[in-house]
Amino acid sequence: MSQFALHTRLKRVTYRSKEWWSELLSMLRKAYGSALRCSKRDRFDAAHLPSARAARSTYFEAIKKAKRDHWSSFPALATPQSVSTAKKLAVGRPPPHFPALLGASTPPELNQALLDHCFPREPARFPDTIQLRFRECLPLSPDEVGRALAHSSPTSAPGPDMTPNSVWKRVHRVPPHLIQDLVTPLVTYGSHPLTLKRADGIMLDKPGKPCYDSPSSFRVIV
């Protein structure tokens, strides 16, 4: 053993350390890396692909089994320190507190200040009592509705109506004319109902700001 190894401090075990790791996983990781490098080096030779896929499957299945075995035996060997560590791993770090904006400290005041900044109110306008039809506007077709739905992600968060895009896609496949009949009058008369102007928003802080006491230091995602 070299002098450097004798005087090198051992790694301090923290709650981030993988207690379920073993020598078998190290061997499987090396085998998977070797098979992956061979498949990348000889990418035109399909003979290495099955071995790389098999090594990958074996490696990740062994990780799942090691984690499952470790945490299943964890309660029997639990100590006050390990219970605290398990709580930190399960709960995670506490979320940062939302800063107080200038002139707003309570949650309703913060909400109103951010809404006024991101969505300034327009002057009140009297609604038209008679909706005029756009003669140049052609009626929508089921193909146009299908293309619009195809560009929407089925896993995106739903709006206030709690109806995801996957439901609308299934509705369009069963009676294709339903959504077309609902949307065509709105396009024909240029109407945008208030119910379609509501959305759920989440405020995110802009990185690199010197302080976060102003609404301009945040942005909204809908």
Question: Looking at 61-75, 92-106, 127-141, which range is the least confident one?
Answer: 92-106
CA distance 124 to 212: 32
User: Mean pLDDT throughout 37-45?
Assistant: 73
SS3 state of residue 101: strand
For residues 140 and 187, is the Cβ–Cβ distance under 8 A? yes
Sign of CA dihedral 205, 206, 208, 210: negative
CA distance 200 to 180: 25
For residues 209 and 216, is the Cβ–Cβ distance under 8 A? no
Write the pLDDT tens digit of every residue in 64-97: 999 888 878 777 766 776 677 666 766 666 656 6
Write the pLDDT tens digit of every residue in 146-201: 898 988 888 888 888 888 888 989 888 888 888 888 888 888 888 888 888 888 88
pLDDT for the residue 49: 76
Q: How far apart are the first and last CA of the chain?
A: 60
Sequence ranges of the domains in the chain: 11-91, 107-122+131-221
Is the pLDDT at 59 greater than 90? The verdict is: yes
SS3 state of residue 204: strand
- Alpha-helical segments (H) within the chain: 3-7, 23-41, 48-72, 80-91, 107-118, 142-150, 165-173, 177-189
pTM of the prediction? 0.44
Is the pLDDT at 60 greater than 90? The verdict is: yes
